[in-house]
Amino acid sequence: MFESLSEKLESIFKRLRSRGLLKEEDVDSALKEVRLALLEADVNFRVVKDFIQKVKEKAVGKEVLESLTPGQQVIKIVNDELCSLLGGTNSRIQLSPNLPTVIMMVGLHGSGKTTTSAKLAMFFKKEGRRPMLAAADLQRPAAIDQLVILGSQIDVPVFHSKGIKDPVELCRESVKKARLDARDILILDTAGRLHIDESLMAELKRIKDVVSPKEIIFVADAMTGQDAVNTAKNFNEHIGIDGIILTKMDGDARGGAAISIRSVTDKPIKFIGVGEKVEMLEPFHPGRIASRILGMGDVLSLIEQAQKTFEQKEAEKLEEKILGETFTFDDLKEQMKKIRGMGSLENILSMMPGFNKMKGLKVDEKEFVRTEAIINSMTPAERRNHNLLNGSRRKRIAIGSGTTAADVNRVVKQYVELKKMLKMFKGGKGFKLPKFLPF
């Protein structure tokens, strides 16, 4: 996420920080480079122009240029303006006092609208709400089947066509069904097209008039850049939208859509999709995203992700095992599964400050698979006591897991080193396992 843009900005600001004193021409030169980096990241050119102008007005002031750390002051101004450009504060979906809260999902084919509808339902379910999905895309039977499958995976009911051929009628009936079943949130997965046309907009307007949704959410593929921004603008002009969800943000190295779309549409980004799994939907926090773009990490989001994955009681149980020195290969495998449940390793590590500076560091997701296969090939006794793992046993485990003896030796070595490290922490005064960490 934002990888190429972050690298360029980090390089620009590194040079700026290295200078003791700054002149106005130094700031001008740096901002020209920032401008070019933003344009190369596919940020709307008017947005870039306004952004650079606002930063320059504040950055060339006497109190900045003559301060003890002028370079850091300029970076702070860029961070503040970037945060403002992204929306300033986190914007949540507004809930209706009269149940159900109807959320109408709109967007073009291929934006990830159906999957995002399920992700949003999952998000609300974790908050203790009772969501229901409605498959209102009658143009594409596969979309109905997809939503039904996703609904069954997350245990959320899906209202779908039972002889109803009019999407407006289906949406009306889904509202009645949601009220009857005491569902407090109804998410309408409406039809899309390959491009905007009159029939699509007419259909969406009719649905809007009949069900009066509390919020209309536009779903856009972040990787389409300015196409996503222009499409969002068109949807807003035709039917009016209340917010935006950007999908595939984990694959968007440039970030042009995320930076431009709020300013162009004047509508907030409410969530971002950061992976294919149904739980990989994050609330959009402008300040945190600005920090990530500038290479400062996003520790708060990392902690929140870990807290969702690692239950308090499980952490306490793990702590007891560490204190009692009974941490086994089974425990290691369980913690690995939980880490993977937080999302891709690339995304997790990108939240850590300075990660973008680690040039050439590659994250091998397959390493988890190999390690789990090796542990699965051990006997219960071997998992409990690594001292049993002699040469012949390790050779058997390698054959059983489809790996090499070197792979098995490496996993055992890492496990032993981890136990030593945990034992060392245990020896410290007032040892307490951080509740948001996997080990």
Give the per-residue pLDDT at 414: 83
**Does the pLDDT at position 256 exceed 90?**
no
136 contacts 189 by C-beta, under 8 angstroms: yes
Residue 190 host element (H or E): strand 185-190
With tokens 């040892």, the residue in question is 431
Where residue 438 falls among pLDDT bands split at 50, 70, 90?
A: very low
**Over the range 50-77, which residues count as b (16 or more CB within 10 Å of their CB) and which as e?**
ebbebbeebbbeeebbeeeebbebbbeb
Could you tell me the residue ranges of all domains in the chain? Answer: 3-85, 101-285, 303-427
pLDDT digits over 304-346, tens only? 555 555 555 565 666 666 555 677 888 888 777 766 666 555 5
In words, the CATH class of domain 3-85 is mainly alpha
Classify burial at 118, counting beta carbons within 10 Å of its beta carbon; exposed 0-12, middle 13-18, buried 19 or more: buried
Residue percentage of the chain with pLDDT more than 90: 37
Give the per-residue pLDDT at 184: 93
235 contacts 106 by C-beta, under 8 angstroms: yes
Q: What is the mean pLDDT of the chain?
A: 82
Average pLDDT over residues 271-288: 87
Q: Could you tell me the two tokens for 151?
A: 């609904």
Query: What is the chain's length?
Result: 439
Give the per-residue pLDDT at 350: 56
Residue percentage of the chain with pLDDT more than 70: 80
**Does the pLDDT at position 37 exceed 60?**
yes
Q: Could you tell me the two tokens for 17?
A: 């920080």
Average pLDDT over residues 243-253: 84
Where residue 123 falls among pLDDT bands split at 50, 70, 90?
A: very high
pLDDT digits over 127-148, tens only? 999 999 999 988 888 889 999 9
pLDDT digits over 292-302, tens only? 787 665 444 55
Give the per-residue pLDDT at 422: 66
**Does the pLDDT at position 404 exceed 60?**
yes
Residue with the bigger pLDDT between 53 and 296: it is 53
Within a 10 A sphere around the Cβ of 13, how many other Cβ atoms?
A: 21
Per residue, the 3-state secondary structure of 206-221, as one string, reads HHHHHHCCCEEEEEEE
**Does the pLDDT at position 176 exceed 60?**
yes
Q: Which of 69-73, 104-108, 297-301: highest mean pLDDT?
A: 104-108
**What CATH code is assigned to 303-427?**
1.10.260.30
Q: Is the pTM of this model over 0.75?
A: no
Mean pLDDT check: name the lowest of 7-21, 133-147, 266-280: 7-21
Helices 405-427, 391-401: crossing angle, 10 deg rounding: 110
Superfamily of the domain at 101-285? P-loop containing nucleotide triphosphate hydrolases (3.40.50.300)
Within a 10 A sphere around the Cβ of 21, how many other Cβ atoms?
A: 10
Distance CA 421, CA 208 (A): 59
